[in-house]
Amino acid sequence: MISGERLVAEQVVDSLTVRISENPAEEFFRVDFTRPDSSHLTTTVAPGDSFMMNLISAAVGGEPLAWRHLAHWGGKLSQK
């Protein structure tokens, strides 16, 4: 995490660690994806991005399907 961010939620899904943090001052969320081999991908999401914000909100709310979708999305990106 970067200064000013706070960890909101974290889950390991199919060996991929998905970490969601929030920067309230800058008004964005960061989603980090880390594989067991330490490869890493990160993306920032602004409140206006309805697709990702819906996934983030559902994941933070404890929805297993949202965590799986985030992990699938992050896993696809990290393979490119």
Give tens-digit pLDDT for 19-57: 999 999 989 999 999 988 888 899 999 888 778 899 999
Residue 15 clears pLDDT 60, i.e. is over it: yes
Q: Which are the contacts of 17, defined by CB distance < 8 A and separation ≥ 6?
A: 10, 11, 32, 33, 34, 35
Residue 24 lies in a domain: yes
Domain that holds residue 40: 6-78
Look at the chain and report how many structural domains it folds into: 1
Residue 17 lies in a domain: yes
> In 1-80, which ranges are continuous DSSP H helix?
50-60, 64-78
Average pLDDT score over residue span 46-70 = 92
Residue 1 lies in a domain: no
Residue 12 lies in a domain: yes
